[in-house]
Amino acid sequence: MSRIEERAIPDAACKALILEGVHPVLAKILSARGIVSKEELANTFSHLIPPNQMLNLDKAATLLADTIDAGQKMTVVADYDCDGATACAVAVLGIRMLGGKIDFVVPSRFDNGYGLTPAISEMVKYRHGADLLITVDNGISSVEGVAKAVELGMKVLVTDHHLPGEHIPQNCVIVNPNQKGCPFPSKNLAGVGVIFYVLLGLRAELRKRGRFAIANQPKLDNLLDLVALGTVADIVPLDHNNRILVSQGLLRIKRGMTRPGVRALFRVSSRSTMNASVSDLGFVVGPRLNAAGRLADMAMGVNCLLTNDNQKAFTFANELDRINRERQQLEESMRQDVQAMTGGINARDVYTICMASSNWHQGVVGLLATRIRETHYRPTIIFTEDNKGNLQGSGRSIPHLHIRDAIAQIAENHPGVVLKFGGHAMAAGLTVAKDALEVFKDAFEQVAREHLTPEQLVPVIDTDGSLDMQYLNEGFVELLEGQTWGQGFPPPLFYDEFTVKTQRILKNAHLKLQLAKDGKVYEAIQFRNNVMLPEKVRLVYRPAINEFNNNRSIQLNIQAVAD
């Protein structure tokens, strides 16, 4: 059962926002999320943090410009998720716009594993003939892969956003806001955001060299639709800088100024680009790109984003949609396996969930870990076997347990158990020795008990309190929907008591209601619930605009029911 809490509202910040002309309810919502000035809501390109604040970006720009001037060949090595695919496409499109020769490689999740390996470096050298190897959304942990590339005579530019480990690659240029000594104030850039910043620096360097002037320079903002997609899909926190990137990208998509591949992915998803939202990028378009990396070859996803041919883009998008449906079926089958193996997980007596099966698909274990974490609210790691017989896992955490650091602690305390790992606070990937699962499970449980309290194992739903119903109109809801909400900057949820006037179950899956409060009746729906509610009920809800048969009306989307 979740605990419902109301966000604290800093009074001074809220009053300051109201004085600056912000709607009073929106001012409460924004101040509760750390906004203290209307300036922090500005989403124009000019408000981005300047590129020169990122460590080594000038070196990266010089390296790229020298490579372009020499007419040398570049190859991008990308990660196989949506962030990696969009970062790869941004790198290829951007460098071509700026006059460079470039192609790309996406390692196979199944044959190559994660990141730049020595074998991938050899491929880039001998098959692609690259003079400069560029990583996007990976590389900060690829010590051996970078060393092999340098040994083969290539220059290397690492662009990444993942947390560095104890050792980082040498004899290369690294651009990563999370590397030691980087003063860049936003540590939340996705991989696609990092390479976009590198391109901004490269363009500035080429201006210095007289390649073009500001008036006729290539328009890198044409790539912001891809930057927005990768940023949202990678679930990085939407701080002010990321909100600018996402809002500008969404604006381009809504105006029809987007890549044919993005347009095609919206089309096969039965979504309109004119009404594109953060939710569409994260839950509709992103998963279709991710499916290629999970089950097939992410090169298909990159090519979908790169092509200028509408028909080819639609063909790619249709295949990605088919693969995503296959992924959904696999995930459901694996979820049923979990239930059959355990008889339903009872998480009350444990702090973690850790499971393994050789029958599970490597590309889907991360999604399964997410589902189990959402259901039981425990740090979860799901393993399957890799092609060497070791256990390849994907983990998802809850607040208060940094899962990458937890795995690092296990690796330090139990040498030889964790063969490799990487990730973030909330998600990580790892490989465990094939005979060490039980040791790892016990160690994971112990680390979690050291860092978590029983109270932290109860999910919390943060709300913005009660909503004065005088504000519940289309104009107010449109004002809310006009903000760029997302990870780390969650959309508002309200908490109020209603009287249930009518209710019925739709398709044996969703609850459709009419709710009364303060003398007015509101349409409401609770998805994935077919249990009737009592007459008096306290609800957590999000107001939305419902469009049906060209009619617009306010609908309350119920997120939770209080006891």
Strand residues in 184-337 grouped as ranges (E)? none
pLDDT at residue 347 in the model: 67
**Residue 270 Rama label (left phi>0; alpha psi -120 to 50; beta):** left
Cβ(7)–Cβ(463) below 8 Å? yes
Task: Encode pLDDT of 509-544 as tens digits.
Answer: 899 999 999 999 999 999 988 889 999 999 999 999
Q: Does an H or E element contain 11, and which? A: helix 11-19
Question: For all residues of the chain together, what is the average pLDDT?
Answer: 93
pLDDT digits (tens, 9 = 90+) for 317-366: 999 999 999 999 988 888 888 777 766 566 678 999 999 988 898 888 98
Residue with tokens 């028909």: 311
CA atoms of 224 and 190, how far apart (whole Å):
13
Backbone CA torsion sign across 528, 530, 531, 535: positive
- pLDDT value for 114: 75
Q: In terms of Cα–Cα distance, which of 115, 103, 240 is closest to 165?
A: 115
Nearest-angstrom CA–CA distance, 100 and 84: 20
Written as six digits, the tokens of 100 are 């460079």
Please name the amino acid found at residue 168. I
Give the per-residue pLDDT at 549. Answer: 75
Cα 81 from Cα 422, distance rounded (Å): 15
Per-residue pLDDT at 10: 96
Can you give the pLDDT at residue 294?
A: 85
Residue 550 has what pLDDT?
Answer: 75
Which among 96, 24, 553, 29 is positioned nearest to 306, based on CA atoms?
A: 96
- Write down the residue that tokens 């599970």 correspond to: 360
Q: Is the pTM of this model over 0.85?
A: yes
**CA 164 to CA 115: how far, in whole Å?**
13
For residue 175 the two structure tokens come to 């651009």
Question: Any idea what DSSP says for residue 216?
Answer: G
Q: In this predicted model, what pLDDT tens digit does every residue of 143-186 receive, in sequence order?
A: 999 999 999 999 999 999 998 988 999 999 999 999 999 999 99
Q: Is 555 buried (19+), middle (13-18) or exposed (0-12) by CB count in 10 A?
A: buried
Other Cβ atoms less than 10 A from the Cβ of 383: the count is 27
3-class DSSP state for residue 551?
A: strand
- Specify whether the CB–CB gap between 157 and 176 falls below 8 A: no
* Integer Cα distance of 219 and 223 in angstroms: 8
Structural domains of the chain, with CATH? 3-41+461-561 (2.40.50.460), 46-319 (3.90.1640.30), 336-457 (3.10.310.30)
Render pLDDT for 440-484 as a digit per residue (tens, 0 to 9): 999 999 999 999 999 999 999 999 999 999 999 999 999 999 899
pLDDT tens, 8-47?
A: 999 999 999 999 999 999 999 999 999 999 999 999 989 9
Distance of CA 175 to the CA centre of its chain: 20
Share of residues in the chain with pLDDT > 90 (%): 81
